[in-house]
Amino acid sequence: MLKLLNLLKDGRFHSGQALGQSMGVSRSAVWKQLQHLEAELDLIIHKVRGRGYQLATPLSLLDSTAIAAYAESEAWPVQVHDIIDSTNAEALRCVAQGQAAPFVIIAERQKAGRGRRGRQWVSPFAENLYYSLVIRVEGGMRQLEGLSLVVGLAVMRTLQEFGVAEAGLKWPNDVLVGPRKISGILLELVGDPADVCHVVLGIGINVNMQNNNQVDQQWTSIRRETGELIDRNQLVARLNGNLQHVLARHHHEGFLGFQHEWEQAHVWQGRSVSLIAGNHTVDGVVLGVDGQGGLRMNVNGVEKSFSGGELGLRLRNDS
């Protein structure tokens, strides 16, 4: 099926005869494969008598060779999967099998993509970026302080380089354009955080998605913002480069080296918010972040810091 998809990915019409000749199969075999593509990958294929078959939207398919060709520095090994449960889950399996870090897992589609706090990450085929980078961390907890926030800076810069000028950060792990989410980050750790461990940096970016009624919050994508079909291989290469840069800085400077830069990019700086931890809510005004990446808030005239992977942040109605 993927051979057929590669023939159709340009979004132009292709006759059944031409497709069959290219694949060495009959026109009826082409028809059956087209039906499988629609059913299994939720793709829309136009069928017009006398013209042939056309994908409703052109596709930019992932290719590790193309990613390496776009790389501007030493390239990380990249594994490309067609369909997978989640890139983070596969990354953790690779760590358990002893694969040496760093390496990157990407996929065209996730069947069980997930975000923070167990939420589903909607993952349509070949439209967005589902990405996990595995790094080895030595030197204890200092190397983990503010790590997810630093990753957010790399994602934001990458989006800006692709024309999303208004991309900004929301504590702790989201990238927004105005009120609309364009990217989320999920970090998972295995090993001893006080000594040597591996961290999976999971990143989801809405790239070429234009319509999806499964997403239960306001969202946007690079294509929605720029009006252009994005080459996801180039996007991966640029993201890799930006991550290499910020991770090297973070290793030497810690999060303190990024604190002011991150606060400048925080779209909810100075806003009235509600911090949610399970059934507990704290209302206050965002002051910034501390040297470990925790959220600083003015709560009833007192500055307090909050950190933790299960915390959520919402704008208050009067903000």
| Catalytic center residues | 116, 181, 314
Q: Residue 319: name the closest of 297, 304, 303 by CA.
A: 297
Is 180 annotated as belonging to a binding site? no
- The structural domains of the chain, ordered by start, are 2-55 (1.10.10.10), 64-263 (3.30.930.10), 268-315 (2.30.30.100)
Is 114 annotated as belonging to a binding site? yes
* Chain length of the chain: 319
What's the pLDDT score for residue 319?
47
Query: What residues have CB less than 8 Å from 233, skipping those under 6 apart?
Result: 60, 62, 63, 66, 67, 70
Burial class (CB in 10 A: 0-12, 13-18, 19+), 227: exposed
Residue at token pair 């950060």: 169
The pTM (predicted TM-score) of the whole model is: 0.90
Quick check: helix, strand or coil at residue 112? coil
Distance, in Å, from the CA atom of 142 to the CA atom of 251, rounded to the nearest integer, reads 9
Is 3 annotated as belonging to a binding site? no
DSSP 48-106: ETTTEEEESS------HHHHHHH-SSPPPPEEEEEEES-HHHHHHHHHHTTPPSSEEEE
Distance, in Å, from the CA atom of 276 to the CA atom of 102, rounded to the nearest integer, reads 34
Is 87 annotated as belonging to a binding site? yes
**For each of the chain's 319 residues, which pLDDT tens digit applies?**
678 988 998 899 999 999 999 999 998 899 989 988 888 888 889 999 889 999 988 887 999 999 999 998 778 999 999 999 999 999 999 999 999 999 999 999 998 776 555 566 677 898 999 999 999 998 777 789 999 999 999 999 999 999 999 999 999 999 999 999 999 999 999 998 888 899 999 999 999 988 777 777 899 999 999 999 999 999 999 999 999 999 999 999 999 999 999 999 999 999 999 999 888 999 999 999 999 999 999 999 999 999 876 788 999 975 4
